[in-house]
Structure 1
Amino acid sequence: MSVLIIGGVSNDVLRLQKYFHRIDIKDIHCFTSPDAAMNYLLDSLKEELELIILDAKLTLKNCEEICQQINRLINWIDVPILLATTYEKTITIDRVFEAGIFDFILKPFDFTQFKTRIQVATKYQNEAKLRRQQESMIQKDLIVAKKFQKNALSPPLNLEYIQIDGLYVTSNTLGGDMYCWFKINEHLTAILLYDAMGHGIAASLVTMSVRSLLKGMITNLIDPVTVIRELNRQIYELFSDEDMDRFLMTAIYILIDTKNRTLHYVNAAHPAGFLFGKYGETVFLQANTPILGLFPTIPIIKKTIPLSGWHRIILYTDGLLTLNKQHNIDMDFFHSYASQENSYALQKFSQKYNLFDNDHSDDITVVSITITLQGR
C-alpha cells in the first residue's frame, strides 16, 4: 500500500509518518502542496497510491482554497482523501465534504482514532478497486455479447427478384433488436424484425433465445399467421414465470411471394413499416395484432398487398424514433434514395444522423427490402 501525505514540513506530518509506520505502512510519499505532488510524483508511483492525507489548517477564510485543492486531487486520482485539521466548524466541515473528502483526522492526533480512520478508508478503497475490476470485466463481457448478438443478424440477401439489407446500431447497453430473413424456396422469402421490450442483459437473452428458434419455425411453418402464433406461444411459455413487462415482444413478419406477386404480413404491435411503389405511392404496414408474450393465445390478422414491378420496403424498431425531437420517421429521405441499392441508402442514412459516432439509449435497427419482379 502506498500513501501520499501533502502538507508543509511540520511535526504533524512527521507524526503522521510515524503512525503509518506503526500500522506497517512504509511506502509514504510527502509533498508540500497538491501541485508539487501532481508535478513530481512519477506515474508508476501514482498507480500504487491508495490513500491521500491532506494536512491543512482549515479556517473560514481558506476553506474555498482547500476545497479547490481537494478538487484538483480528485481530478488527478480516484482514492480516498482524508483531511488532517484542527477546525471543526459545521459550515467548513460540510463544505469540504461537498468538495469530496472521505473523512477527517482531527488534531491533536490520537493513534487509535488515526488507525480506525485509516482502516475504514483502506477498506473502502479495496472494495472500490474490486468493484472497478468487476465493472471492467462486465464491460468486456458486454462487448463480447454485443458482437455475438450482431453476428446473429442475417447477412445481406441478393436474389433475382429480392434484395435485403439491414442496419443495426447498438445502444450503450445490450438491447433487444433482431432481424433475420430466409429464402424458403424459389418463390417465397420470409423477413422477421422483432424487438424485446426493455434494455440490458435480460432483453438480450430473450432476443437470442428467440433467435435460436426462428430458422426451424419460419422455414417449416412459413405462413405469417402460423409463425406469429407459434412465436407468441414460445415467448409466453418461455418467460411466463418472470416479470412479464420485461419479456414482451413486438414483431413484424413479412412473406414475399414472387410467383403470385403478393406480400403477406402480420404486425404485432410493432412500429408501422412503409412500402414505396414505383410511382411514389406509399402503403403503411400498420400494426394489426397484439403484442407477443402477454397471453397464451392472441387474435392474429394477416394483411395481403399485391405487388407489381418495383417496390422498396422499410422496416425499423422504435429506437429510430429517438433520432429527432418529433419522434417521427423521415420517409422523404428513404424515398429520395429509393433508386439506390439498399446498402447505399442505409449507409447514407447512418451518415446523416452520425449513428456510429454517438451513444444511443436504445438500439437503432432499419431493414431495407427491394423487390423487382421484372428481374434485374
Structure 2
Amino acid sequence: MSVLIIGNVSNDVLRTKKYFNRIGIINVHSFSTVDAVMNYISDVYKEDIDLIIFDVKLTLTNCEEICQQIEILNNWIQVPILLSTSYEKTIIIDRVFDAGIFDFILKPFDFTQFKARVHVALKYREEAKLRKQQESSQLKDLAIAKKVQKNAFTPSLKLEHIEFDGLYVTSNTLGGDMYCWFKINDDLTAVLLYDVMGHGIAASLVTMSIRSLLRGLITRLIDPVCVITELNRRIYELFSDEDMDSFLVTAIYILIDTKNGTLHYINASHPPGLLFGKYGETVLLQPNTPILGLFPTIQINKKSIQLSGWHRIILYTDGMLALTENQTVDLNYFHSYASQDNAYALQKFSQKYDLFENNYTDDITVVSITITL
C-alpha cells in the first residue's frame, strides 16, 4: 500500500506523514505538484497507489485551476483523492467534489477526523479493487461462455441436393440465438432456428439447455408437428416457474424432402423466412403457430410447399432488424448471389452491413439454405 501527498507547504506535508505513520501506513511519498507526480511515477508503480492527499491553499481565485488538476489526477489514476484545505465555503467544496475528489480534510488537522476519513477512503479503495477483480473474472468467464455457445452451432453441411451455411455475430452480451440442422436419412433433412427472448447469461443457459435436446428430438420425431409439439412441452416444463416465465422461444422448423420435392415448415412467432426461386419469385414463410413455452399445449399449423429446380431459403433472428434505423434489411440481396454458394453470399452480406465491425445489443444470426433438385 502506498500513499501520495501532493503539496508545497512543508509543515503540513510533514504533519500529514506523521499522521499516516501513527495509523500504521509507512509507505508515504510526497511531491510538490501534480506534474511532478505524473513525471516521476511510472505505470508499473501506479498499481501500488491506494490514496492521494492533495494539500492546497484553496481560494475563489484558484478554484478552477485546482479543479483542473484534480480532473487530471482522476484521468491518470482511479484512486480516492482527499483534498486537504483550510477553505470550507460551500460553493468551493461543491465544485471540488464535482471535479472528482472523494472527501476533504479541513485544517488545522484533527487526528481523529484525519484517521476516520482516511480509513473510509481506503476501505472504498479495497472494495473498488475487489469489484475490478470480479469484473475481470466475469469478463473471462463471459468470453469462454461465448466460445462454448458459438461452438454449439452446427457447422456447414453440403449434401447432394442441399447446402446449409450459417452466419452468427455475437453481441456484447450472451444471447439466445441458435441454429442446427440434421441429415435424417437420404431423403429428409431438418433445420431449426430459434431465439430465446432476453439476453445475458440466463438466456444463454436456456438456449444451451434446449440445444442439448434437439438431436434426439428431431431425429426421433422428424415430423414438424410432432417436433414442435414436443419442443413446446419441454420448454414449458423446464422454464414455467413464475420466476422464469420470460423465457419464451420463437422458432422456425423446416423439413426438406428431396425425394418428393417438398418443404414442410412451422413458424412459431419467428420472423418470416424467405424462399427464393430461380427467376426471382419469393415466398414468405410467415408465422403460423404461437410462441413456444407460454402454454403446455398450443395449436400448431404446418404448411407445405412444392419444390423443383433451384431455391434458396434465408432464415434469420430479430437481431437483423437492428442493423438499420428503420429496422428493415434488404434480404433480396441474397437473390443477387443466386449463382454463388451460401458461404459467399453470407460473406458479401456481412461486408455490406459491416457486421463484424460494429457492436450490437442483440445477436445477429442468418441461415442460408440452397436446394437444387
TM range (shorter): over 0.9
2:124 aligns with: 124
What is aligned with 2:176?
176
2-structure distance, mates of 1:228, 1:96: 62
**1:44 positional shift:** 2.5
Contact 1:56/1:85 (<8 A) preserved: yes
> Secondary structure of the equivalent of 1:356?
coil
AA at the equivalent of 1:117: R
Q: Does 1:225 align with 2:231?
A: no
For residues 355-370 of structure 1, what are the structure 2 equivalents within 5 Å?
Answer: 355-370=355-370
- Following superposition, the deviation at residue 69 of structure 1 comes to 0.7
CA contact (8 A) 1:244 1:294 kept: no
State the shift of 1:326 in Å: 1.1
- Say if 1:203 and 1:246, in contact at 8 Å, map to a contact too: no
Superposed CA deviations along residues 34-65 of structure 1, whole A, max 9, x for unmatched, are 11111111222211001111111122221111
Q: Distance in 1 between matches of 2:83 and 2:245?
A: 48
Counterpart residue number, 1:43: 43
Residue 102 of structure 1 corresponds to 102
Give the whole-Å Cα distance in 2 for the aligned partners of 1:202 and 1:240. 14
1:285 corresponds in structure 2 to 285
Deviations 1:206-263 (A, max 9, x none): 0000000000000000111111111110010001114344210100000000011010
Residue number in structure 2 paired with 1:266: 266
Q: Which amino acid aligns with 2:120?
A: V
Paired residue total: 373
Deviation at 1:133, TM superposition (A): 0.3
Q: How does 1:309-328 map to 2 (within 5 A)?
A: 309-328=309-328
Does the Cα contact within 8 Å between 1:5 and 1:28 map onto a contact in 2? yes
Letter aligned with residue 335 of structure 2:
H
What's the counterpart of residue 156 of structure 1? 156
Detail structure 1 runs of 4+ shifted over 4 Å in the superposition.
none
Does structure 1 conserve the Cα–Cα contact (< 8 Å) formed by 2:278 and 2:338? no
| Alignment RMSD (CA, Å) | 1.0
1:335 maps to which residue? Answer: 335
Q: What SS does structure 1 have at the residue aligned with 2:38? A: helix
User: What's the counterpart of residue 92 of structure 1?
Assistant: 92
1:113 aligns with 2:107: no
The 2-side partners of 1:272 and 1:148 are apart by 28
Q: Which residue of 2 aligns with 1:251?
A: 251
Write the letter of the residue equivalent to 2:103: D
Q: Contact 2:272 / 2:315 at 8 angstroms: preserved in 1?
A: yes
Report the Cα distance in structure 1 between the residues aligned to 2:7 and 2:18, rounded to whole angstroms.
15
In the alignment, structure 1 residue 201 sits paired with structure 2 residue 197: no
Query: What letter is aligned with 1:214?
Result: L
The answer for unaligned runs of 5 or more in structure 1 is: none
Equivalents in 2 of 1:301, 1:182: separation in Å?
A: 22
| Unaligned residue ranges in structure 2 (runs of 5+) | none
Q: Distance in 2 between matches of 1:179 and 1:156?
A: 11
3-state DSSP of counterpart to 1:243: helix
For each residue in 1:159-198, what CA deviation from the matched residue of structure 2 results, as whole angstroms up to 9, or x when unmatched?
0000000000111000000000000000000000000000
Q: Give the SS at the match of 2:138.
A: helix
Map of 1:141 onto structure 2 = 141
